[in-house]
Amino acid sequence: MSKAHNFLSQLTGLFAMPCAQNPTVAMVEAAYRHHGLDARYINCEVSPENLGDAVRGARAMGWLGFNCSKPHKVSVIAHLDGLAESAAVIGAVNCVVNRAGRLIGENTDGKGFIASLRTVADLAGKRIVVLGAGGAARAIAVEAAMAGVASITIVNRSRARGEEVVALINDKTQARADLVVWNGAFRVPEDTEILVNATSIGLFPDVDAKPELDWHGLRPGVIVADVIANPPHSAFLRAAAARGCRTLDGLGMLINQGVIGIALWTGVDVDPSVMRRKLEELFG
Ligand code: NDP
């Protein structure tokens, strides 16, 4: 009679709520199939009150690791054995890795974004403007600071959230950060080298919305990136491209998070183009 572990693939997955169809599942499974990895990535609906039991379940079943999305990114920390450096600074975890039975929290949101940005720019000494101060903006700002950018301007509607991110960067990293409270069209400073939309503006189905900016300061050739993966060609990126800027879509961030997560779980560096094809198929 076969033992359970003979017919179970190595498990990884996503702890999310609510558990709608998630493109990450299709993307990661496409990479597993392409590389012949005997692993599965499953979507699990986990309510906040069951998070501790879900983590204990993953531990008991020897999962290689899992991602967690909102609202679990902060609360999951209480159930883990340790944190990687940037996850500790950011104060949020979206990827958990089983290292010899110890569950370690990583944050791949910002790492995925920076990996995408590095394909077009050297970040050392750069001046970056980040629109937003939510979870994605915080992760991007911390990783950009750790990657050596010189200055980060956070532009956010709510002062309190913006101040929190600015204090975090100034207190915990070598980069200098300042805040602009977003109230009407924000004029992009002329010395900006990288502009990032890290707000949720433009996310499907609100596809015509774009951040309220006075684009006059923005020079052609500046790198303009969006966290919005659906649609990949956001209204924000289309407006930036029309001004001659170099654009980076949110698919790159999502794909690189997958690449980093799979490498942490399995040790295999997967081909990002397989995942991009799958996402482009899904998002049209
Ligand atoms: P949060 O809810 O934590 O933050 C949202 C941010 O957007 C806040 O700064 C908020 O400002 C700002 N915002 C929202 N609406 C407006 C508006 N109308 N005008 C001005 N500012 C606005 O979300 P997350 O940071 O977790 O996620 C942000 C986006 O990033 C989401 O759309 C998500 O899909 C995307 N994302 C993409 C990833 C990828 O791999 N491509 C990975 C992770 C996230 P305020 O503080 O004032 O409310």
Report angle CA 147, 158, 140 to the nearest 5 degrees: 15
11 shares a domain with 116: no
Structural domain of 78: 3-107+253-283
Q: Which residues belong to the active site?
A: 73
Per-residue confidence (pLDDT) for residue 8, from 0 to 100: 64
Higher pLDDT among residues 170 and 17, named by residue: 170
Pick the atom of ligand 1 nearest to 254's CA: 40
162 shares a domain with 206: yes
> Average pLDDT for residues 80-101, to the nearest whole number?
97
> Average pLDDT for residues 73-96, to the nearest whole number?
97
- When divided into structural domains, the chain yields a total of 2
User: Cβ contacts of residue 61 below 8 Å, gap of 6+?
Assistant: 11
- Residue 140 Cα to ligand 1 middle (Å): 12
- Give the percent of the chain with pLDDT over 90: 92
DSSP assignment of 127-186, as one string? Answer: EEEEE--SHHHHHHHHHHHHTT-SEEEEEESSHHHHHHHHHHHHHHSSSEEEEEE--SPE
Residues with CB under 6 A from ligand 1: 109, 112, 132-137, 156-158, 161, 182, 199-201, 203, 227-229, 250, 253-254, 257
Alpha helices in the chain (DSSP H): 4-7, 23-34, 51-60, 72-75, 85-90, 108-118, 135-146, 159-172, 235-242, 250-266, 272-283
Which CATH number is 174's domain given? 3.40.50.720
Please state, in angstroms and rounded to a whole number, the distance separating the CA atoms of residues 33 and 40.
9
Q: What is the DSSP letter of 195?
A: E
Residue indicated by tokens 């179970």: 8
- Residue 184 Cα to ligand 1 middle (Å): 18
Per-residue confidence (pLDDT) for residue 6, from 0 to 100: 45
268 shares a domain with 225: no
Convert the pLDDT of each residue in 138-152 to its tens digit. 999 999 999 999 999
Which CATH number is 29's domain given? 3.40.50.10860
Mean pLDDT rounded to a whole number for the chain? 94
- Residue 277 Cα to ligand 1 middle (Å): 25
Per-residue confidence (pLDDT) for residue 188, from 0 to 100: 95
Per-residue confidence (pLDDT) for residue 283, from 0 to 100: 84
> Average pLDDT for residues 116-126, to the nearest whole number?
96
pLDDT over 80 at 2, yes or no: no
Q: How confident is the model at residue 170 (pLDDT cuts 50, 70, 90)?
A: very high
118 shares a domain with 98: no
184 shares a domain with 132: yes
Pick from 157, 166, 196, 283 the residue to mutate for probing ligand 1's pocket: most ligand atoms within 8 Å of its CB: 157
pLDDT over 50 at 1, yes or no: no
Per-residue confidence (pLDDT) for residue 85, from 0 to 100: 94
> Average pLDDT for residues 169-179, to the nearest whole number?
97
120 shares a domain with 82: no
203 shares a domain with 93: no
57 shares a domain with 142: no
pLDDT over 50 at 3, yes or no: no
Residue nearest to atom 37 of ligand 1 (CA): 227
Say if residue 18 is preceded by a cis peptide, omega within 30 of 0: yes
- Give the percent of the chain with pLDDT over 70: 96
231 shares a domain with 137: yes
116 shares a domain with 232: yes
98 shares a domain with 117: no
89 shares a domain with 20: yes
